[in-house]
Structure 1
Amino acid sequence: MVLDARDKEITLGDHVRYVDTGTIGEVIDTRTKEGIDWVKIEKTNLWYRSKLVELLDEKDLKNKSSDDGDDEIDIDSLKKQSLDFENMQMDSNVAEGGG
């Protein structure tokens, strides 16, 4: 039996939210390896520790689908923005206000 962060049983086809990033997806596989339970989420096709996801119920899914915006965090986009910022060259030859 695979349990979520709130000790609720997770089964195939359930929808879960990864608590660190808010990623929501359908559970397409589960496994236990070395005493640790894992769930695979369809949207990302990645494995998550079951204790780091929370089982969603119907009202959570309806609220998510009725949102106008997309609240999920795009990790790849954030990494690219971070790299772009790190690679930005600082220049002291910038326009200055008169005075």
Structure 2
Amino acid sequence: MKVGDLLKYTPTSTVGKVTDIRERDGKVWVRLDFTDLYYDASLLIPADPSEYIAVSFKERKAYDGGREALEDLKRELEEVDTSEMMPSGGG
């Protein structure tokens, strides 16, 4: 396993190119370019090049892990007046 290899994270089938490898507390972590996240190396397998979809920096920034969508949701929740709402449900 080295920088530039194509790997697949088995739990989610995420495929990416290795951009960094780190060891911490006896565990090896590998960063994949598709999500820019670190994955446990024990859950990674070699991927076929046909499974890899290169992601441009622009697309990666637009994806941003859902942070923008989360911020939008937080803003919407702050704008909702819940003072007159009563909880209901079976119980």
**TM-score band, normalised by the shorter chain?**
0.5 to 0.7
What percent of counterpart residues are identical?
32
Distance 1:16 1:24 in 2: 6
Aligned pair count reads 76
Q: Post-superposition shift, 1:60? A: 6.1
Which structure has more relative contact order (CA 8 Å, sep 6+)? It is 1
Would the alpha carbon gap of residues 24 and 50 (structure 1) be closer, same or farther in structure 2, given more than 3 Å must change?
same
Distance 1:59 1:45 in 2: 20
Structure 1 unmatched ranges of 5 or more: 1-9, 65-99
Matches of residues 1-99 of structure 1 in structure 2 within 5 Å? Answer: 10-58=1-49
Structure 2 unmatched ranges of 5 or more: 54-91
TM-score by length of 1: 0.50
Q: Which has the higher helix share?
A: 2
